[in-house]
Amino acid sequence: TQLLEQSPQFLSIQEGENLTVYCNSSSVFSSLQWYRQEPGEGPVLLVTVVTGGEVKKLKRLTFQFGDARKDSSLHITAAQPGDTGLYLCAGTSGTYKYIFGTGTRLKVLA
Amino acid sequence: EPEVTQTPSHQVTQMGQEVILRCVPISNHLYFYWYRQILGQKVEFLVSFYNNEISEKSEIFDDQFSVERPDGSNFTLKIRSTKLEDSAMYFCASSPTGFGNEQFFGPGTRLTVL
């Protein structure tokens, strides 16, 4: 069974701080996605990474896919209260089945 | 901007009753998915659907569940005989192409089984 473990589970930081969220698995994924979910809403895609070692940037967010395509990280620079939310990674191994991670709940305090 | 819609937003039912959750995917998308999220837990894949048939399903998607695309716009999830543990948020998603592509999620239907 494929599993994606995210760490930390909860993170509370002050505005302006940097943070990194991790998504780890013992399985290889052909692509991995990061989503952000607000309470009462569906997940919204932030980025898709498909190549081992790939780095993508989205404004203050930097996403990296591990060389072996088993792990990924999300780094936020100078966090803002608007970054508060649940961050989810999701992977697929080349099928139509997506496995979601356990989630990291981020709270950025003003 | 096109979006996935789901109805109802909240469904309350008695244990043992049948429920149908409805979704309207984005019009030119070809792949459709159902997920569920039990309160406080992670998002779980239920089923993917393409070309009018199931592409993949999880262990959760047993004989109590079925999906259908009855016309060109709706995509439904039926639970034949609901159980207490079926209480969850159910999300529909669609994508223009298959794996590795962006999935657009609907706002979800909160199912409460009493």
Minimal Cβ distance to A96: which of B4, B31, B106:
B31
pLDDT digits (tens, 9 = 90+) for B65-90: 999 998 878 999 999 999 999 999 99
Q: What is the mean pLDDT of chain A?
A: 93
CA distances from A53 to A35, A63, A69, A71, B81 (A): 19, 10, 8, 10, 46
Nearest CA in chain A to B101: A48
pLDDT value at residue B99: 63
Of all residues in chain B, the percent with pLDDT exceeding 70 is 97
Binned at pLDDT 50, 70 and 90, residue B40 comes out as confident
**pLDDT (average), residues A72-95:** 93
Which of B32, B33, B90, B99 best tests the A interface by mutation, with the highest count of A CBs <10 A?
B99
Are A42 and B93 in contact (CB < 8 Å)? yes
pLDDT value at residue A94: 74
Binned at pLDDT 50, 70 and 90, residue A106 comes out as very high
Whole-angstrom Cα distance, residue A18 to residue A15? 9
pLDDT value at residue B100: 62
Whole-angstrom Cα distance, residue A91 to residue A89? 7
Interface of B with A (CB under 8 A): 4, 31, 33, 35, 42-45, 48, 50, 55-56, 58, 91, 93, 98-108
pLDDT value at residue B1: 78
Interface of A with B (CB under 8 A): 30-31, 33, 37, 40-45, 48, 50, 88, 90, 92, 94-103
Q: What is the largest CA-CA distance in chain B?
A: 38
Q: How would you write chain B as a 3-class SS string?
A: CCCCEEECCEEEECCCCCEEEEEECCCCCCEEEEEEECCCCCEEEEEEEECCEEEEECCCCCCCEEEECCCCCCEEEEECCCCHHHCEEEEEEEECCCCCCCCEECCCEEEEEC
Minimal Cβ distance to A42: which of B58, B98, B106:
B106
Contact yes or no for B13/B110 (Cβ under 8 A): no
pLDDT digits (tens, 9 = 90+) for A24-71: 999 999 889 999 998 888 999 999 999 999 999 999 999 999 999 999
